[in-house]
Amino acid sequence: MESLIRVSIVSVLLFVTCASGVEEIRSWTLLDGSTFEASFKALMGKTAVMENSEGKQVKIHVDQFSEKSREHIELKNPPRFKIDFRKKSKPRQVSNRFGARSLANMPVVNYFTFGIRCAQRSAGVYNHEVNIEFFAIGAQRRHNNKYILLDHQTGSFVPSNENKRSYEFWSTRRVELEEYSVARGPTRGKKYDTYLIIITDKNGTIIEAKSEKKWPLENLENLRKLSVGNFMDTTCARVYPGRPKPLLY
């Protein structure tokens, strides 16, 4: 629990870094067609705080901006979302294909299905599409730094009153993870390990992220290059699966 809390704090800091950032000076257009150069600093209710190159700030009601300029302000102030990663599993013991003498326990296959649910948890209307992306990651037992991309799915929605500003879906992929032990040795095979959920705006900017570990988000670019079933290390670089370690008798 303590570890999960620390990672959640890191996710919030990453959100702030990605979503806010330092706004550069750009051209803004008002409804009457006039333009001015300034950087966007903050949104206070329905009032945008702008700052020119000399550091002078001015407050302008958002309804005074043109549609394109108003959209830019809205995208700079996305809502916050509550994210939940979901998984369903069902174990099934399979027949002993290797003989009772070589296996101490019958192999077990765990069938996993993964999904997500997100809901807007901050006030305000946001009439823009957001994209949700999740990665389910497994690990190879008895091999440090050997992970597997189990599932990768994407979805999108526009928060509205009709959908209660929430969205959820389950993947149609069923993931099979087998575990077994040889000659009364430790358990081998594969297991579920962690997840990463990313919410981005229409421009691809991350507005929310959640994971149980730091490294999937820190190496998101590499992670997106992998195909489901690929093995990877904690940099999300593709690697070969580990070989079974010999047993000492």
Q: For the residues 35-64, what does the mean pLDDT come to?
A: 92
Asked whether the beta carbons of 213 and 220 are under 8 A apart, the reply is no
Greatest CA span in the chain, whole angstroms? 85
Q: So what's the pLDDT on residue 242? A: 83
Q: Which run of H or of E encompasses 15?
A: helix 2-19
Domains of the chain are 21-75 (2.30.30.700), 81-232 (no CATH)
Share of the chain above pLDDT 90, in %: 68
Q: Which strands make up the sheet holding 26-29, listed edge to edge?
A: 26-29, 35-44, 47-51, 57-61
Looking at residues 176-203, what average pLDDT do you find?
87
Predicted confidence band at 68 (pLDDT cuts at 50, 70, 90)?
A: very high
Residue 32 corresponds to which tokens in the numbers above?
Answer: 């009457």
In sequence order, what E strands does 121-186 have?
A: 130-140, 147-157, 166-170, 175-181
Return the pLDDT at 45.
84
Beta bridge partners of 140: 190
What is the Cα–Cα distance from 54 to 38, expressed in whole angstroms?
Answer: 9
Instruction: Determine contact, residues 126/73, Cβ cutoff 8 Å.
Output: no
Using 50, 70 and 90 to split pLDDT, how confident is the model at 124? confident
Question: Does position 52 have pLDDT exceeding 50, yes or no?
Answer: yes
For residue 4, pLDDT beyond 90: no
Residues in Cβ contact with 28 at an 8 Å cutoff, skipping those fewer than 6 apart = 35, 36, 37, 38, 50, 65, 69
End-to-end CA separation in angstroms for the chain: 39
- d(CA 225, CA 15) in angstroms, rounded, equals 22
Mean pLDDT of 12-38: 72
Q: What is the mean pLDDT of the chain?
A: 86
Strand ranges, E, within 171-238: 175-181, 187-200, 206-211, 231-232
CB 234 within 8 A of CB 145: yes
pTM: 0.80
Distance between CA atoms of residues 105 and 101, nearest Å: 10
C-alpha angle 238-241-246 in degrees, rounded to nearest 5: 150
pLDDT confidence band for 180 (50 / 70 / 90): confident
Mean of the pLDDT values across residues 181-193?
A: 81
Residue 16 burial (C-beta neighbours within 10 Å; 0-12, 13-18, 19+):
exposed
Handedness of CA 235, 236, 241, 245 (dihedral sign): positive
- The C-alpha atoms of residue 3 and residue 145 are separated, in whole angstroms, by 19
Nearest to 137 by CA among 216, 210, 206, 83: 216
Bridge partners of 93? 108
